[in-house]
Structure 1
């Protein structure tokens, strides 16, 4: 993960945004010693939010754990993906 100053990020904002989106790699932006933020692509942020939402429900976590256990036990089925659906 790359870290840059807020001054550099401001000066090169468009290029920084394009690099983050193209490389799909987060950039830490530092402003002073104690102020830091992370710039990530919107899709990554949405994925993090969705994962957090799914993990909020204990019942859903249990269901996911059971599914992973079944998959690891060789009980999974490979299925084609219908991209037109």
Structure 2
């Protein structure tokens, strides 16, 4: 994650937006007040929100983690998704 000041971010905002979207680069923008922000693409933000939602249920998180471990160990089966 790149860190830059509010002033630099303001001067290069269009480029930051392009990079956040094209390269999925997050930017940590600092302020003298300490009220920092992070700039990420909408797609990356949506992905983070979905991941947090899926992992918010302990039972669902356990199933997902078990499935990941099964695939990583080579004993899982990949399947095509059915069209809705």
Using the size of structure 1 for normalisation, the TM-score is 0.79
Deviation digits for residues 1-47 of structure 1 (CA, Å, limit 9, x no counterpart): 21111112112211221122122110111111522111011111111
- Judge which range, 60-69 or 39-48, deviates more: 60-69
| 1:13–1:69 Cα change, 3 Å | closer
CA RMSD after TM alignment:
2.0
Using the size of structure 2 for normalisation, the TM-score is 0.80
The 4+ residue runs of structure 1 with deviation greater than 2 A are: 68-75, 78-82
- The runs of 5 or more residues in structure 2 that have no matched partner are none
| 1:2–1:73 Cα change, 3 Å | closer
Aligned to 1:35: 35
TM superposition shift of 1:80: 4.7
- The runs of 5 or more residues in structure 1 that have no matched partner are none
Is residue 2:11 matched to residue 1:11?
yes
Count residues in correspondence: 83
- Judge which range, 37-46 or 68-77, deviates more: 68-77
Aligned to 2:61: 61
